[in-house]
Structure formats: structure tokens, C-alpha cells
Chain A
Amino acid sequence: MTDILTIKHLRVEGHPPGGAYVPIVKDVSLNVGKGEVLALIGESGSGKSTISLAAMGFARPGCRIAQGEVWLNGRDIMALSPRDRHALRGDEVSYVAQSAAASFNPALRIGRQVIEAPLWHGAGDASTLTADAVNLYRKLDLPNPETVGQKFPHQVSGGQLQRLMAAMAMSCGPDLMILDEPTTALDVTTQIEVLKAFKDIIRDQGTAAIYVTHDLAVVAQVADRILVLKNGEMVEAGPTDQILHDPQRDYTKTLMAAVRPAPHLVNHRDTVAARPPVVSARTLTAGYGTVTVLSDVSIDVPAASVVGVIGESGCGKSTLARVVAGLTPLRKGEIMLDGKAVAPNLADRPREALKDCQIVFQMADTALNPRHRISDILGRPLEFYQGRKGSARADRVGDLLELVDLPRSFASRYPGELSGGQKQRINLARALAADPKVILCDEVTSALDTVVAAGVIDLLKALKDRLGVAYMFISHDLSTVASFADEVVVLYAGRVVEKGPSKAVFSPPFHPYTKLLLSSVPEMQQGWLEGVANTIEAKAASAGSVVIGAKGCPFSNRCALAIAGTCETVVPPVRELSGGLQIACHLAADHLPLS
């Protein structure tokens, strides 16, 4: 097999601010052949991203490639001028990063950015490239492939943007694709589609790929070979099958043992419903422009509890949080905070109501003003809500930093000087600064890798127990929601399809959509992807795409159990089942899927 990429004895060094150079990656050698997928796995900080950047001849600021050779298509790219090396990107190599938001220019329409690289490299004229791009959008299962290119980045949901970034990377038909946690921010049903699209494209075009992820179940689906890393050193390398089932080294064995439990296996308390709700939203309807995203959504968040909101990308989860926070106008419905009705519009809410309900955004990167110091970011709410100034403010900023397990000295830093997990902690600390009753957490962990995400979840739990704050916890990560939330609301196409205590939601009977979600959680077994993609439910599900504003049941175009003539025209009734479970479906309780 011809190798597209060969890396020999790579050593990358970096230096902490003010410190001397320390090695981040030590003596790593690897090669990737045509049409082959090599997975890099290892915990946070093990050097996965550093190696994948080095494959393009890059080192992040403050780091340098100290030793080693990188050969791409038979050329030593370390010997190229920075300019030529830059030209490789978007032509021979492309890179899909974990956080899509940072890769798009907010000022330009998405379609233009997707075809920019191939246009620049002279791969065709704008109209043919646009047509190619539309095909890619379709392959990546994006809704409205013909028109999505016309939108601006902030007009699509987080998961959609992630897929658009994948389209951007594939648009120029690269020889080598570097995929750095490309599906971490996606929900399970979308992840399946995107993984399938990646596999197809890699097979059709003979692209070589480096796939960085911490999710071993995903690795099992896509990788041909695996390289296990720890602290920048190679632990073990081998074919996927061997690493997964017959690991040789102790470290690999522990990694395999730490695989996440399936979501429905966790125990829950279900006593929170009796508490008074801090947020109580009734029959919310909201949208953007002429599109209605949420219809008739009701949700209660009892005091000091966690209500999980799950559903696939674009179903309106973020919109729900924004509506409750008053950022997106409400068309119909009512919002009560702490028992008192509040104005739908932010500007009309009293400061007390604003203080009680804080929001933490999906993208940790863009939620912090890059030009403000942490002390100002955390200090402003203290001043704004509590009138703290001077040393009282500075002391409290320090306390808040400690509360989120960061050193007090971080106060003088800028957001650009923090890692992703640290930024998310600052986001949380900013919400906590207001001393709120409820925090709306919008995918606060989805852009973080598992170890860091687990740290943030533990922190949320600790804060809840200590401060009695409640969370509306929006996430596409079912196992996190299952282990963290007291109650769960399943959203689909802007409507509530199922809700109840999480124990009831995650055990049968299920709403057909909930069942699809649960069966889409990848399992650590090769061939699972192909297997699951061939089930009747999955085929029905991938046949249609999310239709917002459907007349009857929104899921009817993708439901394997749909009752023809009824489901697509009549809004399903809400069935009250035992254990406080509510399911909106035409199927009688004893016909709902059980497993």
C-alpha cells in the first residue's frame, strides 16, 4: 500500500508561559496509507491534536516541532517554505476541528466559505463547485441542502455548523483528512449519518485519514488501525480489532475498561417533581423570522434539580434556552420564574428576574469576550447585580475561581490563555456570580473531551448540592443526561415527544423517537454502524429528515411504526403512563416499543 503520510520520530516541544521548553510529543512514528483510517486515542493532553497538527507541518503558538520528519505524498513538508506548507491546506490536506464556530467567518455566507479553498486552488468555477457542495450537504444529511449555503453561520444550529465544516474540509477532495473529534459535538442520530458519510467519502476517494477521538465506540466503527498515546508517547499500535479485543499493554486495557456505560443502566432519584418549580414554561411557541421552531413546549424545572433536555441537532434545544432567558422573542405562551410570571422580552424583565436565571452557552470559545480579562468577565455581574466594587469585587472573583476549581491567579488572564475546559469553567463561574436560582446549560460539555467533560459535570453536581442551584441541562450526550438529570424532556422538531423522571424515560416503554435515539448510541463493536444502519427503524429514520412545523406527529416521516393516515395529519395525544411518564404518540401504551 502506498503511504500518503509518514511521520518519523516526531518530537514537539512547548513552553508554558515563562517556562522552558518541555516535550509534548516524544518520538512518535506513524504512517497512513491510501484509503486508510488511523485513529489516535488517548486522554486529554496526550498529544493527539498536537500530532495531527504536526501532520500538516504546524505547531500551535508557543510550540515547535523540534525533531522528526513529516512526509506527505513523498514530499518532506518540513523542508517546504511556510507559504508552500500553507498552500497544502485545503488542497492536499484538510482539517476538521472540534469546534466549528471558530472555523467560520461570521460575516460570510456558509456556501461561499465552503467553496473558497477549491475555488482558490482552481478546482472549478463557482457554480459547479456550489453544485458539488450541495451534494456534500445532502450526503452529510443536512436539512435543506439547496439553501443551507445561503445562510450565515449563526443562523444554523451548532450540530449543523459542525457538519458544514466537514463539508468545507471535503470540498477540495484532499489526499489526507485530519479529523479532530469531528463528531464529539453531534447528537447520536446525526453522528451515525456523519460517520457513514465520512466512511463513504474515504472509500470513494481513497482519502487517507487521521481520526482523533476519545470515543472508543466511534473508533471501532471507522478506524482500520489504532495508535494509543499517553503523555505524548506511543503506548501501542495495531489493527482496530486487536487493540479493542486483545490489548497488550496495561494502559490500553484500562482505557478499554473505562468505556462509558450504556445510558439506560444508571439509577436515579425521582422525588424532585414535588418541589416548587423555579422555571415553569407553559405552551411556548417561538421561532426566527417566518420559521416556527418551538411549538407548544411546556417544561418545569423544580428547585435544586436537574432537568435534561435531549433531542437531535436543530430540534430547538438552544432555542428553548434562549426563549427562557428572554433572548429570543416568544410568540405564544408564558414563562414563570420562581412562581412569578416574567415578561417574554429581556428588556422588560426586572434585574432580579435576570439575575435568577443565567445561561451558559454551547461554545465556550465564543462566549467569553477575548479582550476582557477574567477578572472583568467575572467581576461585571458582581458589580451589575450586587454593586460590588474594588476589593470586595476582587475577593469574590477569587472565590468564584476557586468554586470552579481554578487558581485565583487566573483573574489576570485573558480567555485566549485558557484551555477549552477552563473556558467552560469560567462560563459557569460567570453564571454563578449572579447567584442564580437556575442555570440554563446549553451543551456545556459537548465541545470538551470526556475527561474534561466529566470534570465539569462533577463540578455541576457539587455546586448543585452546595448552592441549591437548579439546571436546565441541554445535551445530546445521552449517557451524561441519564446519569445527571433527575427529569428528562425529549424534544423532536420543536415539540416535546416524551418527558418524565429520567428512570422512566430511559426504560421501556419508549416513544419511537426516544428509542431511535437510544439505539443510535454507538456500541464498541466493529460493524455496529453497518448493522444499526440496516435496521428497519434506522432505514425509516434516515429516509426522512427533520421537518419543523409538521401538521401531525413531527416524527411521522421517519417513524417505522407510523399509522398511515393518522400520524401525519393528527397531532398525537399525550399519554400519561405510570411513574409520571408522558408520551406524545398515537400508539396505545401497550403498542409502544419496549426495547
Chain B
Amino acid sequence: MSDTSDIVAPRKPTFAGLRLTRTAIFAGSVLLFWLVLALFGPWIAPHGEAEIISGQTFAPIGEGGLLGTDKLGRDVLSRLIYGVRTTLLLALVTTVISFAIGVTLGFAAAILKGWFDIVVSRIVEAFMAFPSTLLALVVIGAFGTSITVLVLTVGLVLSTSVFRVSRALGYDIGVMDFVEAARARGEGTWWILTREILPNSTAPLIAEFGLRFTFSILFLSGLSFLGLGVQEPAADWGLMVQENVGGLFLGSSAALIPAACIASLTVSMNLLVDWFQQRQQGETVLEKIDQ
């Protein structure tokens, strides 16, 4: 008998079988482009990070540097190239910190339940009730504007959302029969977390990582713009926008270019996350009807 039940879907790991769409390729290329610049920036940039190359401030595109000069007569292109490194690295570090805090506490709350869950959830809710910028302003105002304070603060602010996602995932997966089977066997909390729940949470956590990363870029840029983030003479896109706003009235694009770059990063990242989530969902829809 040619038994159809022998013909089964091959297992799909998180990324395999994800069909690339044009949007995904485009967004991926943009991100890759910035990544390469971030890695090899110092070798590519025509001038130094804080080097004054021209007596003319706010030189228009094509004059002075390729993309003009800024309010001090520095090369906008070079600062942009140096800036991507700061921007991406800071965003990455803050996102990783937010995940370290959020995932640990979120899953712990979902597994331990009881008072631990209640206490942590209340604290997180209290945090979320504060507008995040205000929170950052207060903390940075109190502890001063160092990179460490900045990164820790933003990481903490972002971790509230990661906590919520992880806790929900932990609760959902925690009631699945395979987790019950592990509990019935007598497995400890650590095993259940690392072997049963986490491997089944990768896809949503990857998506969440992308979203937090985007948010962190925007948030850090915002703080830099307010003068609370990266400090001169280091280059950072948010900072570049702030430094050169004045030039807008003189017809200079020195503030617009970094703003556009920020948008290209965040939009691409969002597109990629959307694509990834849609693919994952498409898969489950097929699995559903395949019972």
C-alpha cells in the first residue's frame, strides 16, 4: 500500500525553507551595506572622524567633501562612515543587554509563577507606565552622560518589552504536553527552560530582537539628539543630526543625510522582521491544515 502517511513534511529549522522575497533581498542588502561600512569604516573613510577638512562650514554636497561639510567644516561622508559603527554597536549592545535581562526574568516568571511572577510583573508594569524617554532623561541626568550609563539605561528600558514577550512565550509553551511530560518525568526548572521551552521560542525571539534593535537605534539617536547620548567629537548619526540642524536654514543637507541613514536602517530592519514573521506564520497555517 502506498501509504500517504509515510510522506511527511521535512522538518523546517527556523531559517531553512524561508523563501526570499524581493523586499527581503532589498532590506537585507541595505543592512549588509551598513554592516560592511561599520566593519571597515576607518579604511574606507576619506578623512578622519573629527578632522576639519575645510574652512567652509556647511559646504553643500560636492563641495568640500563628497557629501559636503558640517558645522565645523568636517567631512560629512567620513563622519557618516564612522558614525554607523557607533550607531550599530551601541544598538547591538543595548539590545543584547535588554535580552539578557528580559529573557531571563520573563522565562523565570513564567516557570516559577507565584510571587516571583507577581513581583517582577508589577515592577515591569511600573517601568512601562513611565514614558521611556523621560525615564532615560532622569537616569542619565542623575548619573551623568557616560556610554556605560547610556547603554545600561537603554538596555533596561528595552528589557520591559522583551520581558513581556518572553513571559508570554514561557506561559504558552509551558502548558504544552511535551513540557508536562518533562515535568512528569521529574525534570528540574533549568532543563525545562533550556531544553524544552527555549528551543521552541527562537523564531518569536528573533523577531523580537529585530524589533528591539530598531527601537534601540531610534531611541539612542533620539537621546543623542537631545545631547544625552554620544558626545562630540565622536561621530554618531543622532548626534550628527543635532549638530547640524542649524544648517538646515542655510540650505545644508548635513542634518538630513544622517537622518535618512537612520531611516534606511530602521525601515530595512522592520521589513526584514515582517518578512520573517510572515514566513513563520505561513508555515504554521500550512501545518494546521496538514493534520
Contacts and interface: CB of A to CB of B under 8 A. Distances in A.
A418 B176 CA distance: 19
Contact of B3 (A45, A358, A368): A45
A366 B1 contact: no
Contacts of B289: 53, 56, 58, 60, 95, 97
Question: Chain A binding site: helix, strand, loop or mixed by DSSP?
Answer: loop
Nearest to B198: A371
Nearest to A44: B5
Contacts of B181: 359, 361, 367, 430
A154 to B, nearest CB: 4
Nearest to B186: A354
Given A45-B5, A327-B180, A61 B286 contact: yes
B291 A366 contact: no
B168 interface: yes
B5 A421 contact: yes
Contact of B183 (A154, A346, A414): A346
A103 B285 CA distance: 9
B4 A24 contact: yes
B2 A22 contact: yes
A144 interface: no
Interface string B1-17: 11111111111100000
A500 interface: no
User: What is the interface residue range for chain A against chain B?
Assistant: 35 or more
B116 to A, nearest CB: 16
B5 A24 contact: no
Question: Chain B binding site: helix, strand, loop or mixed by DSSP?
Answer: helix
B199 interface: yes
Interface in A67-104: 86, 95, 97-99, 102-103
Contacts of B3: 44-45
Contacts, number: 133
A15 interface: yes
A107 B204 CA distance: 13
Contacts of A366: 176-178
A326 interface: yes
Given A367-B178, A369-B199, A420 B7 contact: no
A430 B185 CA distance: 10
B184 A45 contact: no
Interface in A7-59: 14-17, 22-24, 44-45, 47, 49-50, 53, 56, 58
Contacts of A154: 175
Nearest to B171: A107
Interface in B272-290: 285-290
A389 interface: no
A417 B290 contact: no
Which 5 A-B pairs have CB atoms at the shortest separation, nearest pair first? A419-B5, A61-B9, A45-B3, A371-B199, A367-B177
Interface of B: 1-12, 168, 171-173, 175-178, 180-181, 183-187, 195-196, 199-200, 285-291
Interface of A: 14-17, 22-24, 44-45, 47, 49-50, 53, 56, 58, 60-63, 86, 95, 97-99, 102-103, 106-107, 154, 180, 231-232, 325-327, 346, 349, 351, 354, 358-359, 361-363, 365-372, 380-381, 384, 413-414, 416-422, 430, 434, 452
6 contacts: A361-B180, A366-B177, A369-B178, A381-B185, A384-B185, A413-B11
